[in-house]
Amino acid sequence: MHEIMYLNEEKVIPEKYKTNKREDGIWYLDNGASNHMTGEKGYFSELNESIKGMVKFGDGSCVSIGGKGSILFEGKNGEQRLLTDIYYIPMLKSNILSLGQATEYGCDVRMRADYLTLRDPNGCLLAKVTRSPNRLYKIALKIGKPTCLHSRIDEEPWKWHARLGHISFKTLNSMHAQEMVRGMPKITSQKLLCESCKPILQSKAYRLYNPTTRRVVVYGFSPC
């Protein structure tokens, strides 16, 4: 069964986001767009193609929606971040990140005289983008690939990550500091995303380890 969506992106004019073929991986940060969108199917690490529908742009054009999913980005230092709720628009020849959608997720967006900054909910700088002469903000982003747990299982942090149900490395380190698990060493943070963690991130759920029952419980939640 398909989920039908109808999007009205009246403030988005696709023609102004012309991307040079040599500028692969360029994304436009747009405060007029309501949703993240891309026409590159190969970017998605997860794509739900049962989501269909139409999107209407500000130039009057209407194009089909091919799905909705997540894209894994990789930073300059190898750290990875998963961006969810991105629409796949096959006819779209550019990549658009909605600043409005980013702020809904708790990100902080600030526009200065000639540049824009984007910070995550924890205040970490995600991007600093200089405004182009045509008043657009564009940035080159590298698409990442989740690490295969089997190739890292001999490494102590990944071993404990798998053993305790794929809870975050930050939580593992906190558990070590509080001596909640006997024999657990100090866990260093990892920049890569485990492939097995993608379904948990996509389903908007989180895991907690109960030291009394020695079980990992998965908690789900619905956004307000």
Q: Which domains does the chain have, with CATH numbers?
A: 3-143 (2.40.70), 149-220 (no CATH)
Asked if residue 55 lies in contact with residue 13, where contact means CB atoms within 8 angstroms, the answer is no
Asked if residue 80 lies in contact with residue 70, where contact means CB atoms within 8 angstroms, the answer is no
175-220 residue pLDDT tens? 767 766 666 666 655 444 555 455 444 444 344 444 554 444 433 3
92-120 residue pLDDT tens? 989 999 999 999 988 999 999 899 999 98
pLDDT computed for residue 186 by the predictor: 66
* DSSP category for residue 113: S
Backbone angles phi and psi of 106, in degrees to 5: 100, 5
pLDDT computed for residue 3 by the predictor: 75
Half-sphere exposure in the Cβ direction for 8 (13 Å, CA): 1
64-94 residue pLDDT tens? 999 999 998 888 877 778 888 999 999 998 9
Retrieve residue 57's tokens.
């742009």
Task: Give how far the C-alpha of residue 137 lies from the chain's centroid of Cα atoms, to the nearest Å.
Answer: 19
